Amino acid sequence: MAAASATPTLAPDPDDLAAAERELEVRLVDAEAVGRAVARLQSAWITAEGSAGCDDPVRTPLAVRLRHFASAWHDAVQRVRVQADRLGRLVAAPTLVPIVDTERRGAVESLMARADVEEQGWLELTSWTTRARLPTCDLPLAPAPGFARPTIAARGEGPLPVAITAVGGGRLCPETLGAVSTGVVAVVDGPVCWTASDRCDCTPEPVEAGTVLGPAP
């Protein structure tokens, strides 16, 4: 006869549900920001004149950047999917069903719908990269400006978080962003700058989606 577990599994409580909702919201904000950067890079590559090879001076850097941010989007969407599945299990847990009223269920379903949009967007991107024959160029990322928001903001709508990355070591500032891990995509919601120093001796400025910060060429 198998021995009983020494550590019984505790039933989820309302705090677990609230924490799962907050975590999914955080992951969605990140995924949506990276997805916006991907969309703007995709649009820039489509509209730029030139060839689809790896020797085009305009489209090649865009393709490299697009694939880099697309990879980060894939990871972000996977993190969203994992958390959405966890939230779905919690909502259905017998100990939590009684507290999931109509309003709460609507809030959860809204989060789930956003997760579905991100997953569908990623699948559409993978299909597009195949049809468009987006080149796979073995070239490093290089510092480059991002892309301004293409639509007019609704009344009262503030700036959206943007996804950026950096190369060349150093650090991103303000100090809360920390040292640069080359190529790691970060989501920021305010002015940022890059410095080769180990302290923040640069002046943060607004950045746009898809920006690559780093040393000047």
pLDDT in tens, 19-31: 999 999 999 999 9
Residues 105 and 53 in one domain: yes
138 falls within a domain: no
pLDDT digits (tens, 9 = 90+) for 102-141: 888 899 999 999 999 999 999 999 999 999 889 999 899 9
162-166/186-188 β-pairing: antiparallel
| pTM score, whole prediction | 0.89
Residue 1's pLDDT band (cuts 50, 70, 90): very low
Number of domains in the chain: 2
146 falls within a domain: no
Contact by Cβ (8 Å): 166, 194: yes
139 falls within a domain: no
Residues 85 and 171 in one domain: no
Residues 108 and 197 in one domain: no
Domain around 169: 162-213
Domain end position, chosen among 132, 150, 181 = 132
Residues 118 and 178 in one domain: no
pLDDT reported for residue 6: 52
For residues 97 and 125, the model is more confident at: 125
Residue 50's pLDDT band (cuts 50, 70, 90): confident
Domain end position, chosen among 112, 132, 152 = 132
Residues 104 and 184 in one domain: no
pLDDT reported for residue 36: 95
60 falls within a domain: yes
Contact by Cβ (8 Å): 67, 54: no
Cα-based angle 19, 180, 191 (whole degrees, multiple of 5):
75
Q: Compute the mean pLDDT over every residue in the chain, rounded to the nearest whole number.
A: 89
Contact by Cβ (8 Å): 210, 69: yes
Residues 19 and 101 in one domain: yes
Residue 97's pLDDT band (cuts 50, 70, 90): confident
Phi, psi of 131 (to 5 degrees): -65, -40
Count of other CB atoms within 10 angstroms of residue 50: 13
Residues 78 and 120 in one domain: yes
- Partnered with residue 193 across adjacent β-strands are 173
Residue 152's pLDDT band (cuts 50, 70, 90): low
CA distances from 180 to 32, 164, 193, 197 (A): 22, 12, 11, 11
175 falls within a domain: yes
For residues 15 and 75, the model is more confident at: 75
Residues 41 and 127 in one domain: yes
Domain end position, chosen among 132, 153, 175 = 132
Least confident of 7-16, 62-71, 151-160: 151-160
178 falls within a domain: yes
Residues 25 and 121 in one domain: yes
198 falls within a domain: yes
156 falls within a domain: no
For residues 120 and 99, the model is more confident at: 120
Residues 105 and 31 in one domain: yes
Among 35, 106, 115, 123, smallest CA distance to 83 is for 115
Does 9 score more than 80 pLDDT? no
Residues 26 and 70 in one domain: yes
Residues 122 and 174 in one domain: no
